[in-house]
Structure 1
Amino acid sequence: MTAPHDVPDLTGSGEYLVPDVLQPGLTLVLVGTAPSGISARARAYYANPENKFWRTLHAVGLTPRQLVPQEYATLPQYGLGLTDVAKRHSGVDAALPGEAWRPDELRRKVEHYRPRIVAFTSKRGASETLGVPTGKLPYGPQPQPLDWPAETELWVLPSTSPLGHNHFRLEPWQALGDRVRELRGAAEAGNPSPETPVL
């Protein structure tokens, strides 16, 4: 297991535009691409009021009420965490420079914290991390990469960004919410993890 000091800026208190919300024992870590300009200025995740992220979390039962962006640090009480693939840049994905993407840094965090599920909140973040073209990434659970912790499932979700509103679908998010509840129920019952669903 990677030692804490081997993972750059775990707290995000230094160079990260928005701090990570990561700790051991999380059921789900949601991974964005990079903060929007609005989120970077607010230092809060998904702060654009037109972004569906916080509404979607509540709609699929991942939070008991709709949180506001400034409450992002409370997510671990619901077993959830947040990070991005590009932690030091902001703006739309297409405008990010190549050096903005830090997939190896994300992989080290996953190896260190070992959440039960890592879910990318867009195909672009998953593509940059996995080296797979976006057109070959279906929504839902993904095949396990060889260098991924065996106990951590990998999912890809439709973006909640207002830029992608024409492509947004709630169903993959709902399937993820159902899977999180399934894993929590199995853990509470002391049972082995149920099989990953196929969408």
Structure 2
Amino acid sequence: MIDDVLGPDLDVLFCGINPGLMSEAKGRHFARPGNRFWPALHLSGFTPRRLTPDEQHLLPLYGLGITNIVARPSATAAELTPQELRDGAVRLAELVERTRPKALAVLGISAYRTGFARPKAVIGPQDDLVAGARVWALPNPSGLNAHWSLDGIAAQLAQLRSALDLPPRSGEETGGGE
């Protein structure tokens, strides 16, 4: 199981579908080299540089967190059952209730549709709130998702950042500090 990356006062809690086998082996979210989460996060302006999975602990410094709908690792998300996704959505709502992010960003439209019983949902902002948080359905950044390019995923993330009125992060973090 991969630990959630959480912090106080999150702007966005990103939610993957479930860990892939490589992510599980490394104990890091979105750890497969072909996954586009980390580059898209930077290109969208959420982080000042491209972070690596080994730097996931830095995300709360930018008001960001990561979790998964389902904790069970698999080679592909298609191995998950609809019931696992529904149960995961309940757990996710409880996590959002505890952590109170401004927005919940679900990275996978099919998983969102099944888990939250929203069969007609489309990519982008949703009408529903989850425990008071705005909800965005975003493309799955997996390299297996051939329907979306890196630029397209980054553009969707940038729309979320803009809608939350978060300034783009640019430049490197400074050394030292508090």
TM-score bracket, normalised by the shorter chain, equals 0.7 to 0.9
Q: Find the aligned partners of 1:93 and 1:121 in 2 and give their Cα distance.
A: 12
8 Å contact from structure 2 (residues 5, 65) kept in 1: yes
Q: Find the aligned partners of 2:114 and 2:83 in 1 and give their Cα distance.
A: 11
Which residue number in structure 1 is paired with residue 80 of structure 2?
A: 96
Alignment counterpart, residue 122 of structure 2, candidates 138, 145, 151: 138
Q: Give aligned pairs, total.
A: 163
Alignment counterpart, residue 148 of structure 2, candidates 150, 167, 176: 167
Cα distance change, pair 183–173 in 1 and its aligned pair in 2 (3 A)? closer
TM-score (norm 2): 0.84
* TM-fit CA distance, 1:161: 0.7
Unaligned runs of 5+ in 1: 1-16, 186-199
Q: Find the aligned partners of 1:86 and 1:173 in 2 and give their Cα distance.
A: 22
Which residue number in structure 2 is paired with residue 111 of structure 1?
A: 97
Which residue number in structure 1 is paired with residue 71 of structure 2?
A: 87
Cα distance change, pair 63–39 in 1 and its aligned pair in 2 (3 A)? same
* TM-fit CA distance, 1:184: 6.5
* TM-fit CA distance, 1:27: 0.4
8 Å contact from structure 2 (residues 93, 131) kept in 1: no
Alignment counterpart, residue 149 of structure 1, candidates 96, 118, 131: 131
TM-score (norm 1): 0.75
- In structure 1, what residue type is equivalent to 2:94? R
- In structure 2, what residue type is equivalent to 1:60? S
Q: Which sits farther off after the overlay, 169-178 or 91-100? A: 91-100
8 Å contact from structure 2 (residues 16, 108) kept in 1: yes
* TM-fit CA distance, 1:65: 0.4
- In structure 1, what residue type is equivalent to 2:148? H
Q: Find the aligned partners of 2:10 and 2:158 in 1 and give their Cα distance.
A: 19
Unaligned runs of 5+ in 2: 169-178
**Larger relative contact order (Cα-Cα within 8 Å, sequence gap ≥ 6):** 2
Q: Find the aligned partners of 2:70 and 2:91 in 1 and give their Cα distance.
A: 9
Alignment counterpart, residue 49 of structure 2, candidates 65, 75, 80: 65
- In structure 1, what residue type is equivalent to 2:101? P
Which residue number in structure 1 is paired with residue 114 of structure 2?
A: 128
Q: Find the aligned partners of 2:135 and 2:82 in 1 and give their Cα distance.
A: 23
Matched, 1:36 2:20: yes
8 Å contact from structure 1 (residues 118, 153) kept in 2: yes
